[in-house]
Structure 1
Amino acid sequence: MFVVCGEALMDVFASAETDSGMALDARVGGSPFNTAVGLARLGQPVNFFGAISSGFLGERLMRTLQHEGVGTATVQRNDAATTLGLVGLDAAGVPSYSFYGDGCADRLLTPDAIDTLPQTVGAIHVGSYATVVEPVASTLRQLVDQYAARTLISFDPNIRLNVEPELARWRDLLDWMLPRAHLLKISDEDLQLLLPGTSLDDFAADVLQQGVRLLVVTRGAEGVSAWTRRTRASVAAQPVDVVDTVGAGDTFQAALLTWLSENGRLTPDGLSDLSQADLEAASRFAGQAAAITCSRRGADMPRRAELVQGWRPCPSTS
């Protein structure tokens, strides 16, 4: 059983101008929320651990979790508003975000919610802005401290400076997580925000020395690089006609965890024992899943059957 921890919100896209303003298209989202849905769509048992509003937007988030087969027994409800993330897309489909979330439901997760976790937790994934805003950040740190010695911990910083602009807060989080996380997935963009000028190999040597068993760096169009203490591998990006990249990193995370689970490697020792061929296979599987998400609008993650069928997105020839 996976437990994915963090925020749940509504991503709001501008869809068209109207006579009196703009039409907006609101879609369920939040990086951990997307990752939980992505795991469920790939056939993995998963619970979402977070706080969700009891208002109408929160009810919509809950219906999505239930429809997708994500467990909600670990969801804490409250009467605060739902966070809104306004999403703007550039010409390449790359999103920028503005968040409206101060005092909102997903930030108010309290430590007593930890008692709702099932006994069969196989892996816990944490990340994104819920790890740096209070009081939810303290709750998630307590959870990680409580489980790290007996459960695989997966971490993706997924930096959102529009939520927490102080990079020192994100660096402190990374420093705190490195001795506790077994799997670290980070984008090269986030890495350069945290540690400008740091080479990938130097970063890998540092985090592996501190206790991380598997480091995966996603590099956009440059592909993926992965390291364990024993080996490393790099895989080229899957060619795709990009509609937008919303949810691509979350999809990659869900698919990476799925590959590890399906191949019996979802333990700290299992990560350490990955071969170069394993790293390449896991990276290709996760990269293919992310490419599918990039080929359609929003965080529309693939289902397991799409990957079984060997879906291959190709650049347009028009």
Structure 2
Amino acid sequence: MFLVCGEALFDVFIGSETDNALHLDARPGGSPFNVAIGLARLGQRVAFLSGIAKDMLGDRLVRTLAREGVDTRPCPRFDAPTTLGMIELDAAGVPHYAFYGNGAADRLLSAAQLPELDDDVRAIHVGSYATAVEPVASALETLLRRERDRRLIAYDPNVRLNVEPSLERWHERADTLAGLAHLVKISDEDLHLLYGEIDEAALAARWLAAGAKLIVVTRGADGASAWNAIGRTDVRAPRITAVDTVGAGDTFQAAMLSHLAETDRLEPAALAAMDADALTRLLDFAARAAAITCSRRGADMPRRAELGNAC
């Protein structure tokens, strides 16, 4: 079983304008929220941990997770608003975000509200702005420090400067959590935003030396690369006609974790021991899953049957 931790919100897509009306399309989302649903759709048992509002939008978030088969029992409910993430797509389908969430429920989780975990929780995923804003960031770091020696830890920074504008803060968070995680997935955009023109292999080597076992850098249409104790592996991305890229990185992460579960590699030592052939299969599975999400609007994650017998 997986435990996914982080924010839960509504993505509000900005549509066309007619007369004095602006058309909006609101959908449940948030990077960790998407990862949880992605895992469930790929046939994995998953629970979600986030503060969720007691308002009408919070109720809809809970119903959406339940409908997808995600366990929401770890989620505390707060008398606070639900975060709204406004999204405008450019001509290439690339999203641009603005967040409205000061004091919102998904930022309010404290260390005192962390659940005790059953032995069947084999892996924890954290990421995005819940790892950078307080008090939830400190709560999640406490969880990772408590559980690191007992379960696989996965991390995706998923930087959102319009939520936490300090690059210094994101940089510190990325270095700290990469040192606590066993699997780190980061987009090339986030990598260079945080570290400038640093060589990707040099950063991967630094994080591996700090304790990570597998580092993955994704590059959208240009594929992905992975580094572990054995070496580096690269894969190409499938060629598709993209509708938009919303949720692509979340799909990639969910698919990697699902593949590791299916191949019985949810152990730090197993990540370090994966050879080039095993890493190629892992990255190819995740890239094909992400391509399916890109082929339809929003974070509409694929189901396991759409990917065939790929493991």
User: What residue number does 2:171 align with?
Assistant: 171
Does the 8 A contact of 1:7 with 1:32 survive in 2? yes
Pairing 1:236–2:236 present: yes
Letter of the 1:220 partner, please give it: G
Offset of residue 309 of structure 1: 7.0
User: What residue number does 1:253 align with?
Assistant: 253
Gaps of 5+ in 2: none
User: What residue number does 2:162 align with?
Assistant: 162
User: What residue number does 2:214 align with?
Assistant: 214
Letter of the 2:300 partner, please give it: D
Distance 1:115 1:186 in 2: 27
Pairing 1:185–2:182 present: no
User: What residue number does 2:63 align with?
Assistant: 63
Does the 8 A contact of 2:155 with 2:178 survive in 1? no
Pairing 1:44–2:44 present: yes
User: What residue number does 2:103 align with?
Assistant: 103
Distance 1:137 1:143 in 2: 10
The one-character-per-residue Cα deviations of 1:125-157 (angstroms, maximum 9, x if unpaired) are 001000010111111011111101111100000
Does the 8 A contact of 1:52 with 1:58 survive in 2? yes
In terms of mean alpha carbon deviation, does 37-46 or 169-178 score higher? Answer: 169-178
What SS does structure 1 have at the residue aligned with 2:180? Answer: coil
Distance 1:23 1:144 in 2: 41
Distance 1:229 1:198 in 2: 20
Does the 8 A contact of 1:5 with 1:124 survive in 2? yes
Distance 1:178 1:300 in 2: 28
Does the 8 A contact of 2:186 with 2:217 survive in 1? yes
Pairing 1:137–2:137 present: yes
User: What residue number does 2:297 align with?
Assistant: 297
- TM-score normalised by length of structure 2: 0.98
The one-character-per-residue Cα deviations of 1:27-70 (angstroms, maximum 9, x if unpaired) are 00000000000000000000001111111000110010000000
Paired-residue identity, %: 57
User: What residue number does 1:277 align with?
Assistant: 277
User: What residue number does 1:14 align with?
Assistant: 14
Distance 1:106 1:255 in 2: 24
Letter of the 1:153 partner, please give it: I
Offset of residue 21 of structure 1: 2.1
User: What residue number does 2:225 align with?
Assistant: 225
What SS does structure 2 have at the residue aligned with 1:190? Answer: helix
Offset of residue 303 of structure 1: 0.3
In terms of mean alpha carbon deviation, does 127-136 or 16-25 score higher? Answer: 16-25
Letter of the 2:49 partner, please give it: F
Letter of the 1:205 partner, please give it: A
Letter of the 2:94 partner, please give it: V
Pairing 1:2–2:30 present: no
Offset of residue 276 of structure 1: 0.3
Runs of 4+ with deviation above 6 angstroms? none
Distance 1:138 1:162 in 2: 20
Offset of residue 118 of structure 1: 3.3
Offset of residue 19 of structure 1: 2.4
Distance 2:136 2:257 in 1: 24
Letter of the 1:113 partner, please give it: Q
